Amino acid sequence: MRAIENCRTAALGGHVERCGHCAQQRISYNSCRNRHCPKCQNLARAQWLQRRQEELLPIGYFHVVFTVPDALCDLALQNKRTFYNLLLQTSAAALQSIAADPKHLGAEIGFFSVLHTWGQNLGLHPHVHCVVAGGGLSPDHARWIPSRPGFFLSVRVLSRRFRTLLLEALRTACQRGELQFRGAIEPLAEPERFTRWLNGLGQIEWVVYAKPPFGGPRHVLQYLGRYTHRVAISNQRLLAFDGRQVTFQYKDYRRAGRERSKHMKLDGEEFIRRMLLHALPPGFQRIRHYGFLASSRKKSDLAMVRQLLGDGVHPPAPSPPEVGETVAALRQRMDRCPVCRIGMLALVEILPPQADGLRKDTNDTS
């Protein structure tokens, strides 16, 4: 909260820039670079999108979303690092194990996962978005095995495997003393009661969504790019503050068309409380890569996949402009004079911070 409060104010220092064409001067204060700040991370987002676009293969992609029952939200909130790690690990394991099964695809797949913890009304809603290539490498890496057109894996099978893996992982974490139970869920600290509770969750269907991305893989990258380097809400959705209540825009996905767009009012403290629900532990990685897109093997495996697909080693064509600004275009727009829109801004003076530095844990750029 301190980082967001001080972001782009004199407290963090800044610099003076002057236009080389019209001599207009502008004072720019430094950003906090905190990944939870709605004003920061535009450049990091553009860089991430550009890297992902360069990795796209000339095939179809699938958008897979893993969600957990609402009953798990309190446990997730009190055990963020443990729970979110298990959520990412088990959703990835479900995808990989079902895809590797010869009865389904029989291949080693490549994908990346992004953890989201929020819904449109800023409530806690842990879920994982995955962008998965439509096929994979054969066990001997000698050929490419494509998925069926318009179909990747059975969502029912994925859902049940994911449910089994996550519940078992939570049971093991409890046995190891890695979970905390406070407030309303304190009774679950008793191992037998916790086991019965997990067994009950194992009797309901969990929601897994999987279908080809509308508009192609670049459309999914554009969608996820809005959220990879921001948390919960953007400034564009904030509509008003009257000194007591915050009004913001959200989408009600139960309705269709224009009726989806709604406004919500929350007391300021409640708005801040909901936003803080989504603050991640320091250093937690919420974007992870798996299979032939894993960081340790991506370079060699992507070259091999392109050769198997008959695409050589050349990257796909550049993304169309509507997918998002390139890093170079973003930098140029940031340096362009906002007054004459002709000259470029150049640094002429450094402004030192006007307050003590932030605590180390607030400058979280991971």
Domain boundaries, the chain: 1-40+327-366, 56-232+277-314, 235-272
What is the distance between the alpha carbons of residues 267 and 275, in angstroms, rounded to a whole number? 12
pLDDT confidence of residue 220: 77
CA distance 33 to 3: 8
Task: Read off the pLDDT band of 361 (50, 70, 90).
Answer: very low
Across the chain, mean pLDDT equals: 87
**What is the rounded CA–CA span in Å between residue 205 and residue 157?**
11
- Rounded to 10 deg, the angle between the 191-201 and 155-175 helix axes is 180
The pLDDT of residue 217 is above 80: no
Q: How far is CA 310 from CA 87, 134, 262, 292, 307, in A?
A: 36, 16, 48, 17, 5
Query: Taking the CA of residue 142 as centre, how many other CA atoms within 13 Å lie in the half-sphere pointing to its CB?
Result: 2
Q: What is the pLDDT of residue 223?
A: 74
Nearest to 37 by CA among 5, 74, 63: 5
Quick check: helix, strand or coil at residue 108? strand
In this prediction, residues 24-33 reach a mean pLDDT of: 89
Give the confidence band of 135 by pLDDT, cuts at 50, 70, 90.
very high
Task: Say if residue 84's pLDDT is above 80.
Answer: yes
% of residues, the chain, pLDDT over 70: 89
Tens-place pLDDT, residues 266-290: 999 999 999 999 999 999 999 999 9
Q: Are 131 and 112 in contact, with CB atoms under 8 Å apart?
A: yes
- pLDDT at residue 325 in the model: 56
The model's pLDDT over 224-259, given as tens digits with 9 standing for 90+, comes to 777 677 778 888 899 999 999 999 999 887 776 666
Residue 84 DSSP symbol = H
Q: Which residue has the higher pLDDT, 23 or 316?
A: 23
Long-range CB pairs of 146-150 (<8 Å, 24+ gap) are: 146/59, 147/60, 147/62, 147/105, 149/60, 150/212
Contact between 126 and 280 under an 8 Å Cβ cutoff? The reply is: no
pLDDT of 351: 92
Q: Is the pLDDT of residue 312 over 50?
A: no
In which band, very low, low, confident or very high, does the pLDDT at 352 lie, cut at 50, 70 and 90?
Answer: very high
Percentage of residues in the chain with pLDDT exceeding 90? 59
Interatomic CA distance for residues 288 and 92, integer angstroms: 9
- Which has more pLDDT, 265 or 213? 265
Partners of 113 in the β-ladder: 130, 288
Beta-strand relationship, 208-211 and 135-137? unpaired
Structure tokens at 313: 């080693």
Of 108, 101, 43, 77, the residue nearest 281 (C-alpha): 77
pLDDT band at 50 (very low <50, low <70, confident <90, very high): confident
Q: Are 349 and 14 in contact (CB under 8 A)?
A: no
Q: How far, in Å, CA of 21 to CA of 344, rounded?
A: 7
Q: Is the predicted pLDDT of residue 21 greater than 50, yes or no? A: yes
Q: What average pLDDT does the segment 167-195 reach?
A: 96
Decide which of 208 and 223 is more confident.
208
Higher pLDDT, 60 or 111: 111
Please give the CATH architecture assigned to the domain spanning 56-232+277-314: 3-Layer(aba) Sandwich (3.40)
Question: For 302-328, b where at least 16 C-beta lie within 10 A, e where not — what string?
Answer: bebbbebeeeeeeeeeebeeebbbbbe
